[in-house]
Structure 1
Amino acid sequence: MARSGLLLQLDTVEYGDAWELQKALLEARISDTIEDCLVLLQHPPTFTYGRRYKEGALISNRDYYEKNGFAVYKTDRGGLATYHGPGQAVGYSVIKMSAYTGDYYQYLRMLEEVMIRTLSGFDIEAERREGYTGVWVNGEKIGFIGVRMALGYTMHGFSLNVNNDTSPFRLITPCGIQGIRVASLQTVAKKNVSVKAVYREITKCYSDVFQVQMTAIGIKAMMQRLGVINNMVKV
């Protein structure tokens, strides 16, 4: 593996803070002051939707969601509406895409492959579904993808349900797919699975799929690399 990358593993980070971190990472990567990096974290209960999705298409209005404890963000990623919450492993991949593939859709397939291999590590057989992005198990969606491209560099990424409550997905139309059913790794495996165990498997599978040697970095060291005096995320 000739390529090298940074792995930043965090705990639960508010979505807006994580988004600002991604922007800083993207700017630093474009200016070539940091290597490609993968951020693994969780979010508090949050609904997000992509840049082309209209807020009026949400099942309920923003006030309803926020009064019930959900943050709501319109983002600059592709894709439609999704949910993030504790117990879901989220991976933000900030890389120069051409170092791995010249095809955006192949990049999406690579992210899917990371999730498929991760699930296989827990003896779960996952699959793609023609015409859709993401990963399914037994007809239920378990892995989600939403990406932004900027000047040939990527941000945002994927989310994999681990031991999270999946009922909030019923408050939106996930990925714009009517009648979709959503699963988690823990319910499929019928045993307790920790997010940190899934982080380890994701890191291994990401390294294999992207053929990159990952080096762990702490948040303070990353802030120094970015030239930020104080942490921009609360962890």
Structure 2
Amino acid sequence: MGTPAAPDNGRFRVLVVEDDDVIGHHLQTGLQSNGYATSWSRTGTAALAEAGRAPYDALLLDLGLPDMDGLDVARTLRGRFQDLLIVILTARTDDIDVIAGLDAGADDYLVKPFSLTVLLARLRAHLRRQAVTTVVDQPIHLGDLVIDPAARRCHLHDTELPLRLKEFELLTLLARHVGEAVSRETLMAEIWDENWFGSTKTLDVTMAALRRRLTDAAETHPAPSHLPRITTLRGHGYRLDP
């Protein structure tokens, strides 16, 4: 069943989904000792129920659950909670498995075994960005696309695009440098972690998802749409062309 959620008292709330008792206990006690309100579920079913019972800021999700695939848990919770930070914890090291996790809605991943120090650093980086308010930012108009950093909303004509957190941040960063080449290193440092040391496939999957959302929105909207184009600069990064 797992442990019940701790009262948040204004703290970030983290839901750990891990069927291994040793790892689950280590994660829960480690997070709690570092100030996170933490609960622990051992199955996907229990995690889905717990996520619906109380609001969470972050989900630490093992893919190898006893009752269901962790990817299904990620897809379900991403559909229900667009702003939930999802970090996959996996022993699967093949690129296809990692990409599948990110494509299912995860924001980040850690390959087991990993240290609690690295996990805490990743959480701090992600949650710090989520907590930053940008009320002074003015809406950015690019053709028929309007990006509102203060409200964290994006519209095509009068239709809001359901962008995930990292997709929105990526689009906003490119929009602030429209027409300029932005390196992969800059994007990873600004959107994910300034101390990032792992693969950048997270960026590639998120960029592909962002492109799909923009294309789908333009194709399904009844009015003709003029959108900026994301250009890949091989060996360097990306550029948003107006």
TM over 0.5: no
Q: Which has the higher strand share?
A: 1
Pick the structure with greater CA Rg. 2
TM-score w.r.t. the length of structure 1 is 0.26
Of the two structures, which has the highest relative contact order with CA contacts closer than 8 Å and spacing of 6 or more? 1
Q: Which has the higher helix share?
A: 2
TM-score w.r.t. the length of structure 2 is 0.26
